[in-house]
Amino acid sequence: MNGTTTGLEIRDAISRIRFAPKSNNLLISSWDSSLRLYDAVGSALRLEAPCEAALLDCCFHNDESVAFAAASDGCVRRYDLHSGINDTIGNHDDIATNIGYSDETGQVISAGLDKKILFWDMRMAKAIEYLRNLGAEVDSMSLFGLNFLVAIGSSIHEYDLRKLDKLVQSKESQLNIRIRCVSSIPYSKGYAVGSVDGRVAVEMPYPSNPNDISYMFRCHPKSKDGRYHLASVNDIVFNPLICGAFVTGDNEGYVTAWDARSKRRLFGLPRLPNSVASLSYNHDGQLLAVASSYTYQEAEEIEEPPQVFIYKIDDSCIRSVSAGSSSRN
């Protein structure tokens, strides 16, 4: 499976890449304070919108003409993707680190180093804020439908966006170590989490099946000296159409695909020049975008220029998913 680089000049670390909900436009946020919109099929930069602060996360509005970003000055910014003009819809008391958008509720959801999650209702003429003070910094968060997951330390907190005053459940991860990323499964109420020590835990509940899938594994085998690689798993994304298929990206530059149901490795990409900072599948699961960038996690991290690679998923890769996992139905 061959990848092509976008060739974009990104002047500082990439924080997030996200494909649009219905097209092949790719949103890229960076520590160089610019939000970029890239056409992954036409291989063209559609927009570069600078601001005054480093951007630590980004997401699309569902109609794709608007995007949102979390910034180092605490601002939650809204971007018009036609003009590049941005405005501030609200602020955290410290650096804003995570952001997501729920089409079901019309809410922008942000988290920050102020240990708060803020909910902004975009259906109102003026954004209405709803706040949850968590008392701890959010390490990662993930949205799918009305299900909202928050990773704090080694725990996963689950919320229903219709009932924000009540926590659905709080569960200690199987990993029992700090979670680096959490990713919702788009066809299940399950999720996968990646840890700072190179492990992944998968939780896939099935209402009609008493045998829920729940296990953990290491992304790398032992080395020749018998020791495990302790490379942080920086991101996990599930293929939107191939049930149980997901990819992991780590701090040593490896991207690996897995089948959650058969618990096996599907394929790996050639090692990338930098850490894998972020991953994203397009809407039909045919394209995989990979951000190769330093992440400021380690003092000796490789600092090659940040790049974004686009991979076309081969039919052979799709066929390699175990029988019964090839469709969401």
Q: What is the pLDDT of residues 206-218, one digit of tens each?
A: 666 666 789 999 9
Q: Looking at per-residue confidence, does 176 or 282 come out higher?
A: 282
pLDDT tier at 321, thresholds 50, 70, 90 = low
Query: What was the pLDDT predicted at 243?
Result: 86
**How many percent of the chain have pLDDT more than 90?**
75
Helix (H), strand (E) at residue 319: helix 315-319
Q: What is the pLDDT of residues 291-301, one digit of tens each?
A: 999 998 776 66
Q: Which of 41-45, 190-194, 302-306 has the least mean pLDDT? A: 302-306
Please count the CA atoms within 13 angstroms of the CA of 39 that sit on its side-chain side: 8
C-alpha–C-alpha distance, residues 223 and 304, integer Å: 25
| pTM beyond 0.95 | no
Q: What rounded mean pLDDT belongs to the chain?
A: 90
Question: What is the token pair recorded at 179?
Answer: 């979670």
pLDDT tier at 327, thresholds 50, 70, 90 = very low
What average pLDDT does this structure show over 91-95? 96
Residue 324 has pLDDT above 50, yes or no: no
Query: What was the pLDDT predicted at 101?
Result: 97
Phi, psi of 280 (to 5 degrees): -160, 135
What average pLDDT does this structure show over 151-166? 93
Q: What is the pLDDT of residues 58-74, one digit of tens each?
A: 999 999 999 999 999 99
Site of tokens 């394209």: 287
| Residue type at 240 in one-letter notation | P
Q: What is the per-residue DSSP string for 9-77?
A: ---S-EEEEEE-SSSSEEEEEETTSEEEEEETTTTEEEEEEE-SS-EEEEEE-TTSSEEEEEETTSEEE
What average pLDDT does this structure show over 34-57? 97
What average pLDDT does this structure show over 131-135? 90
C-alpha–C-alpha distance, residues 308 and 322, integer Å: 29
